[in-house]
Amino acid sequence: MVMGSLRQETQVAVIGSGPGGYVAALRLADLGKEVCLVEERPRFGGTCLLEGCIPSKTLIHAVEVKESALAAAAFGLGCTGTSIDLDRLREHTGQVVGGLSSGIGSLLKRRGVTTLEGRARFSSSRSLELEGGEVSGVDFEQCIIATGSSLNRLPEGISDKVWSSADALTLPSVPESLLVVGGGYIGLELGLVYQGLGSSVSVVEFFPRLLMGADQDLVDIMVTSVNSRLDEVMLESKVQTIDEKPGGGFAVTIAHEGETITREYAQVLVAIGRRPNTDDLGLENTAVVVDERGIVATNELCQTDEPGIYAIGDVTRGPMLAHKASREAKVAAEVICGHAAEFDNRAIPAVVYTDPEIAWTGLTEREAADEGIEITVGRFPLTALGRARTLDRTDGMVKIIADPDDGLILGMGIVGPHASELIAEGTLAIEMGATIEDLTATIHPHPTLSEAVQEAAEVAQGAAVHVHPPRRP
């Protein structure tokens, strides 16, 4: 056999093994398709598992345990100091990632999915060329593009010693001082990790507020909590230059409040967004349409303009979130198999693992105001909740956004411990078309944080009485 001439034939090819690609491959296999999954990297899991959600949440948890232990002193459990073994923490994170990655491998194997290593490029609307693996090409009937996204490259001329978020997750060191460029969720999460590990952390954000997508009232509560942990938060500020200093560290000039200031930091972390991986995919050999931002045009069946080629996850419109990719993966797989699936989801929850966490789903207050949608809002602060008191974590709130006429739940926002878990109830409520009454009449276990959801619903119900006369069926 001549190397480079081995071709694989399959019913469905999936490019990428992230939370989009591997889920699509598994679902297709379960529905009886012959599936071939192509992954460029030596390990399965994509950005989310290898250099995103999973390693970052592992680190965040570690820091949280440390912070909780220190906080315990307040109620009499003397915890005099904590030590940090960076090598062990790195090793632990690697074990978490490695375990999950091989878990995906065995799921794929057990279902008989053919996995190929290599970089895929479309050579036609029915074939892929592979580079860097044993098999040189794949001929398919249908293909799902799940190639995900990459970090935006740093501007020219900036030292490669500046960290990207992927660099920061490998824990190269704990710098004495760290400037985080970008006040979005990645920057804030990683900034707090390094603060917990011992760095003095500052954040610079171009926009006038942190976490642009979230409602201000949620962000405010989080900011109040983390303010004491951050050295400086500079809003409406723009980094102009980042210069490496001869003795190590960086001199950074920042346009801030009308003047240019220079600050020195031991390390700089740039977290300024991601771009779909569609540049070198050979899409010009297909009818797939890609816009100037690299986003593949798809419909709600995840179909592209090329019959038989589907796209899911970060390469498509919408938030770059693993759970959105996984849902689209199932839609695409089912559509390929002739099912009546459609990405008709009404809410894609967003979660930020700051401390306290922030999560929201469905309509935000800001969107309602922008679009002129009439809403009623029920807010419930955690200060009034038993379970929050027992946890000594009252820095939080649940708010429910509903239609003032009929109580249909349109959105939910949460800030506080375990907001990431609590938001699931709101998303389910929205998808099911639940009303405020459905939430108030559901028994929530006591004492739990979930009671705050029920309480917020009761507040919304009460508010509705004052704002609009109730219309009960």
Partner 1 sequence: MYTFLLPDLGEGIAEGEILKWHVEPGQEVGEDAPLLDVETDKAAVTIPSPRAGKVAEMGGKVGDVVNVGEMIAVIDDGRAAEATQAAEAVATPGESAAEDADTRAATAPQRPGPAPQAEPVAATDGKRRPRPAAPATRRLARELGVDINAVEGSGPAGRVTPEDVHRFAAEGPFAPTAEADADTHAPAKTVDDDQSFAEFAAHAASTIPFLELEPLPDFAADGPVEIEPLRSIRRKVARKMVTSMALVPHVAHMDDADVTALEEFRLSQRAERGDDPGIGKLTLMSFVIKAVTAGLRAAPSFNASLDPFKEEIVYKKYYNIGFAADTGRGLVVPVIQGTDRKSIREISAEIAEKAGLAREGTLPAEDMRGGTFTITNVGPLGGTAMLPTINYPEVAILGMGKVQEKPVVRDGEIVIRKILPLTLAFDHRIADGADAARFVGELIRQLSDPNLLLLET
Is residue 433 close enough to count as binding partner 1 by CB under 8 A? yes
DSSP tag of 153: P
CB of 338 to partner 1, least distance (A): 5
Give the tokens for residue 377: 């809002």
Q: How far apart are CA 170 and CA 55, in angstroms?
A: 9
Q: How far apart are CA 185 and CA 189, in angstroms?
A: 6
> Any residues with CB less than 8 A from the CB of 184 and at least 6 apart, and which?
210, 211, 212, 271, 273
Question: Site mask, partner 1, residues 112-141, x = CB under 8 A?
Answer: -----------------------------x
Is residue 408 close enough to count as binding partner 1 by CB under 8 A? yes
Is residue 34 close enough to count as binding partner 1 by CB under 8 A? no
Among 66, 431, 442, 447, binds partner 1 (CB under 8 A): 431
Q: How far apart are CA 1 and CA 312, in angstroms?
A: 35
Among 294, 318, 447, 462, binds partner 1 (CB under 8 A): 318
Is residue 470 close enough to count as binding partner 1 by CB under 8 A? no
Of 402, 396, 471, which Cα lies nearest the Cα of 439? 402
**What is the phi/psi pair of residue 200, to 5°?**
-95, 120
Q: How far apart are CA 172 and CA 342, in angstroms?
A: 43
Kindly determine how many residues on this chain lie close enough to bind partner 1 according to the rule CB under 8 A.
Answer: 40
CB of 98 to partner 1, least distance (A): 35
CB of 377 to partner 1, least distance (A): 16
Decide if 451 contacts 388 (C-beta within 8 A).
no
Decide if 34 contacts 11 (C-beta within 8 A).
yes
Among 129, 167, 438, 458, binds partner 1 (CB under 8 A): 438
Is residue 167 close enough to count as binding partner 1 by CB under 8 A? no
DSSP tag of 214: S
Q: How far apart are CA 185 and CA 223, in angstroms?
A: 13
CB of 469 to partner 1, least distance (A): 16
CB of 371 to partner 1, least distance (A): 8
CB of 311 to partner 1, least distance (A): 9
Q: Which residues of 245-255 are buried (b: 16+ CB within 10 A; e: fewer)?
A: eeeebbebebb
Interactions with partner 1, residue window 238-277 (CB under 8 A): none
CB of 144 to partner 1, least distance (A): 13
Residue 171, phi-psi category: left (phi > 0), alpha (psi -120 to 50), beta (remainder): left
Q: How many CA within 13 A on the CB side of residue 39?
A: 23
Is residue 346 close enough to count as binding partner 1 by CB under 8 A? yes
Among 61, 245, 317, 446, binds partner 1 (CB under 8 A): 317
Q: How far apart are CA 434 and CA 286, in angstroms?
A: 43
> Any residues with CB less than 8 A from the CB of 358 and at least 6 apart, and which?
211, 214, 218, 219, 222, 351, 352, 413, 414, 415, 419
Catalytic status, residue 468 = no
Query: Which C-beta is closer to partner 1: that of 237 or that of 298?
Result: 298
Is residue 31 close enough to count as binding partner 1 by CB under 8 A? no
Is residue 187 close enough to count as binding partner 1 by CB under 8 A? no
Query: Which C-beta is closer to partner 1: that of 47 or that of 435?
Result: 435
Among 35, 186, 336, 452, binds partner 1 (CB under 8 A): 336
* Stretch of 57-65, 75-83, 189-197, 428-436 lying at the interface with partner 1 (CB under 8 A): 428-436
Strand partners, 145: 15, 311
Is residue 424 close enough to count as binding partner 1 by CB under 8 A? no
* Stretch of 246-254, 348-356, 405-413, 441-449 lying at the interface with partner 1 (CB under 8 A): 405-413
Q: Pairing between strand 232-234 and 200-204? A: parallel
Decide if 343 contacts 301 (C-beta within 8 A).
yes
Which of 444, 446, 466, 468 is the catalytic position?
446
Query: Which C-beta is closer to partner 1: that of 250 or that of 343?
Result: 343
Enclosing H/E stretch for 54? helix 53-71
Helix ranges, 289-418 (H): 322-336, 365-371, 386-390
Query: Which C-beta is closer to partner 1: that of 164 or that of 461?
Result: 461
* Stretch of 176-184, 393-401, 411-419, 425-433 lying at the interface with partner 1 (CB under 8 A): 425-433
Query: Which C-beta is closer to partner 1: that of 60 or that of 410?
Result: 410
* Stretch of 39-47, 114-122, 332-340, 413-421 lying at the interface with partner 1 (CB under 8 A): 332-340
- What share of residues in the chain are helix, strand, coil (percent, to 5)? 35, 25, 40
Is residue 371 close enough to count as binding partner 1 by CB under 8 A? yes
Q: Pairing between strand 250-256 and 237-244? A: antiparallel
Among 354, 435, 450, 461, binds partner 1 (CB under 8 A): 435
CB of 142 to partner 1, least distance (A): 7
Q: How far apart are CA 370 and CA 320, in angstroms?
A: 23
3-state secondary structure of 194: helix
Question: Site mask, partner 1, residues 280-309, x = CB under 8 A?
Answer: ---------x-------xxxxx-xxx-xx-
The residue type found at 203 is V
Residues noted as catalytic: 446
Which residues make up the interface to partner 1 (CB under 8 A)?
A: 141-142, 289, 297-301, 303-305, 307-308, 317-318, 335-336, 338-346, 371, 373, 403, 406-408, 410, 431-433, 435, 437-438, 473
